[in-house]
Amino acid sequence: MDKKQIEEMIDLAIRQLDYSYAPYSHFHVGAALLAKNGTYYTGCNIENAAYGSTMCAERNAIANMITNGENEIIKLVCVDSKGNVGSPCGACREYMMQLSKNSKDIEILKNIDTKEIVKLEELIPDWWGKGRV
Q: How far is the CB of 76 from ligand THU (least distance, A)?
A: 10
Q: Which of residues 18-47 bind ligand THU (CB under 6 A)?
A: 22, 25, 27, 29, 45, 47
- 73 counts as binding ligand THU under rule CB under 6 A: no
Candidates 56, 62, 108, 124; binder of ligand THU (CB under 6 A) is 56
Taking the CA atoms of 43, 54, 123 and 30 in sequence, report the sign of the dihedral they define.
positive
Question: Three-class SS of residue 123?
Answer: helix
- Picking from 98, 49, 92, the residue whose alpha carbon sits closest to that of residue 72 is 98
Do residues 92 and 127 lie in contact, with contact meaning Cβ atoms separated by under 8 Å? no
Closest CB to ligand THU among residues 29, 34: 29
Indicate the residue among 23 and 69 with the shorter CB distance to ligand THU: 23
- Residue 58 annotated to the active site: yes
> Residue 131 carries which side chain, given as an amino acid letter?
G
Q: How far is residue 23's CA from residue 91's CA, in Å, rounded to a whole number?
A: 21
Task: Please give the residue ranges that form the binding site for ligand THU (CB under 6 A).
Answer: 22, 25, 27, 29, 45, 47, 54, 56-58, 86, 88-89, 92
Residue positions annotated with a catalytic role: 58
